[in-house]
Structure 1
């Protein structure tokens, strides 16, 4: 296939609409080729691969994709299957379902199928993932952790991801499960200093170092570059302190520049200082 230098990721916070307008999945199909899209559904994360996969097949076929098929990998041996490798080699869109992100990496990472998926991504296939499928996008991922609690070292476990978007941390079901504390805990532990918390039925579309938000919720961006934290002074179960962090909350239509680490407002202006919604001073 012809090489396409435009690499695109669609990273979904989970619970995306599959019955009505299907805004996020519609955008995935459109970017993967529209009516010529050939979509592979990776079900490694779920223990119900047939049910989950067939549900997505129905949606993608309804939206007009030329072909949508399941690649089910229950074991690492399946990640060397010639059938799976052939399907991925022809795919214009590769979709990772939700479930357990640890299953994805334990089955796929460093296999022939993992290599093949990265090759297709480099050639221009669109990679998308929802929930657990979103968690695996960075090179270091949140494996599991407590929600709705203050930041502490003990509340989050990290592990290797698939590395489609290195140098960041991603969390999903963000607002719905109160995961700000665990995202901050993950950032403090990892070399990454940029974290993205994606709400349900919301996605960030990553293209050429720029992110666009689509869907009904928001993406919370936490930037801990050049901040202070007390990680070296506390025990594992003691509260983390972090000072100087930046927080951006971006809804549908807003963009974020990964190079400048700044939001892009609807008028295209990238602010150097906070912009108030009105002219009144507090």
Structure 2
């Protein structure tokens, strides 16, 4: 099945971090909010234990408040707190920023799957100037499919790399996190070789991307973003080879992006970002 990576123009922004220290991400989100009175919803469902999720959610709430944001709330969604409560639906309908914390991306996606809450998020992302953001697991769930397993060189063995459905804010990309630090090149390369209509985006820690218009991928942070493009591969055995056998791929392309450069998903194009368009967090008053 062919997937168009940018099927439609969207008004919202996706902001995703590869994990690690996320102060830069918080500041970037803050700099992209027109008004400090904008409503921010923090969702920590990826954290498995309830007490840890509450602690994580409140910590991010305080981090936004320290930068002057005035309307920050923690949205509690887990085994005992369903997503589709009237209060949650009302809150998500007026949120200017939705922030997903790290943890277990499969857990996070499963609690949002087939909910009215997620439907509202997707609709608002397409039609309104809203920010959908996240770190680590909260970044991995942003596309229609996500990688959830695959370790080191073993991920180049058929059956060792696993994918599942994500939250579908964008389609046709795999977003992987902790990319350089945890040796995840193999599993991202395997994923796009198996699904060559997808573009792979690997985020190093403390480094992330802003996706504008569902197409332009720009980098923020001090590290490197790896883009793996399988659109021109000439040979791949990923579908034909037996389980537990290594994969072979010809002409897999890779790009390394840093701050000041972007990748256009529609055109498969690497280019510099004009100086006046670069996203740089604004200084916080009082610093």
**Native 8 Å contact 1:88 1:120 kept in 2:** no
Match for residue 229 of structure 1 among 218, 227, 236: 236
The runs of 5 or more residues in structure 2 that have no matched partner are 1-8, 276-287
Cα shift at 1:201: 0.6
User: Are the structure 2 counterparts of residues 157 and 76 from structure 1 closer, same or farther at C-alpha, using a change threshold of 3 Å?
Assistant: farther
1:56-95 to 2 correspondences below 5 Å: 56-75=60-79, 78-95=82-99
Post-superposition CA distance 1:9-66 (Å, at most 9, x none): 001111133xxxx322111122233412210001111122111011101110111112
The runs of 5 or more residues in structure 1 that have no matched partner are 269-282
Cα shift at 1:262: 1.3
Residue of structure 1 in register with 2:36 after alignment: 35
**Native 8 Å contact 1:34 1:64 kept in 2:** no
Q: Secondary structure at the match of 1:178?
A: coil
Residue of structure 2 in register with 1:114 after alignment: 118
User: Are the structure 2 counterparts of residues 177 and 5 from structure 1 closer, same or farther at C-alpha, using a change threshold of 3 Å?
Assistant: closer
TM-score by length of 2: 0.85
1:1-282 to 2 correspondences below 5 Å: 6-17=11-22, 22-47=23-48, 48-75=52-79, 78-122=82-126, 123-149=128-154, 151-190=156-195, 192-208=197-213, 209-227=215-233, 228-265=235-272
Post-superposition CA distance 1:161-192 (Å, at most 9, x none): 00111011111000000100011112233354
Q: Secondary structure at the match of 1:259?
A: coil
Distance 1:76 1:181 in 2: 37
Distance 2:188 2:239 in 1: 18
The structure whose RCO (Cα within 8 Å, separation 6+) is larger is 2
Distance 1:156 1:80 in 2: 32
Q: Secondary structure at the match of 1:46?
A: coil
Runs of 4+ in 1 over 6 A off after TM superposition: none
